[in-house]
Structure 1
Amino acid sequence: MWFKKLVAVLFTVCFINTAVAQEKDLSKLEDTLYIDLPDGRVVIELMPDVAPKHVARIKELAGEKFYDGVVFHRVIEGFMAQTGDPTGTGRGGSEKPDLEAEFSNVPHQRGVVSMARANDPNSANSQFFIVLEDSNFLDGKYTVFGKVVEGMDHVDSIKKGDSRNNGSVENPTAMVSVRVASEVESN
């Protein structure tokens, strides 16, 4: 009899642990962004604890398929790759209101994803950039909202721009699709 009780207890513990693990996995997927490039997938771990409004905006735009087909219009070798402007000029954005800055102490190291903006610190909208090399001169001046955790080799293969023309790219690389991982994995 004690053996049956032991088996029942062990089964219950395993079931609860599995349910908790699945809940954690789903939570992680909700804070993970997939950027599919022609060369492969880039996986970004979002940081809602660091920049909640910016993460919410990125997730909202990804859900609306806003970024699909949008190009990396400004790419400077050894610095960063910028995207998020549907016009491809660096002057466009979404029709949503600009966001107030959420500066943090997260350093702009290789793979960090940060919001682009105009001179006004509170002008971030839809454009963002991925840091190609450590750029600590940006720290505290731009809102960090994520970090590349997989696929940095695909980011490195994004077509680079002309450094004499502020990184403007001729025939730029486009994002095939941008999705929150939980939307992709649930299908």
Structure 2
Amino acid sequence: MAIKDPENTIIMDTTKGQVVIQLRPDLAPKHVERIKTLAREGFYDGIVFHRVIDGFMAQVGCPHGTGTGGSKHPNLKAEFNAEPHVRGICSMARAQNPDSANSQFFIVFDDATFLDRQYTVWGQVIEGMDNVDKIKRGEPVQNPDKITSMKVAADVK
């Protein structure tokens, strides 16, 4: 697959295979910047999919693997947008406070439009959604799947 915009594409290798995510700085510039920063720091490498709900979504990005933590960076202000939460959408997880997104995100398995305008959409899976579908389910997940490597495509030689 030819990547059109390597600076705004994430290559995420998981224990189930590769997933390619097109970033959407037009929708959520600060969230896209955070995802790229964390990917470049190696933050996501080895982090588990700690909450995976069949027919809904796979969540990842907690350094503790429990859904309770974030990165060393400050939380982000919400950048809610009109992009619908449909299959393959990548959106930021957060606590009750809308401005509490940090490093955790989720990938939607099936349409979840009830999340629209309440969570920040920042990207979309453009390749490897079949691999996302294979991620082990659970809440919490026993022996969870994980991100083995997550990089900005521009940095991949």
TM-score range, shorter chain: over 0.9
2:148 equivalent among 176, 180, 186: 176
What is the aligned partner in structure 2 of residue 117 from structure 1? 94
Which is richer in helix? 1
Verify the 8 A CA contact 2:44 2:147 in the aligned structure 1. Answer: yes
Structure 1 gaps of 5+ residues are: 1-24, 162-166
What is the aligned partner in structure 2 of residue 40 from structure 1? 17
* Aligned residue pairs, count: 156
What is the aligned partner in structure 2 of residue 150 from structure 1? 127
Verify the 8 A CA contact 2:16 2:145 in the aligned structure 1. Answer: no
**Root mean square deviation of aligned Cα:** 1.1
Identity value in percent: 60
Q: Whose Rg is larger?
A: 1
2:66 equivalent among 77, 83, 89: 89
Mapping of residues 1-187 of structure 1, within 5 Å: 28-161=5-138, 167-184=139-156, 187=157
For 2:55 and 2:119, locate their aligned partners in 1 and report how far apart those are by CA, in whole Å.
18
Q: How high is the TM-score relative to the length of structure 2?
A: 0.97
- The ranges of structure 1 where at least 4 consecutive aligned residues each deviate by more than 2 angstroms after the TM superposition are none
Structure with more contact order per residue of length (Cα contacts < 8 Å, sep ≥ 6): 2
Q: How high is the TM-score relative to the length of structure 1?
A: 0.82
Question: Could you report, residue by residue, the CA deviation over 1:74-123 in whole angstroms, capped at 9, with x for unpaired residues?
Answer: 00000000000010010011011000000000000000000000000000
Which is richer in strand? 2
Structure 2 gaps of 5+ residues are: none
Verify the 8 A CA contact 1:99 1:125 in the aligned structure 2. Answer: yes
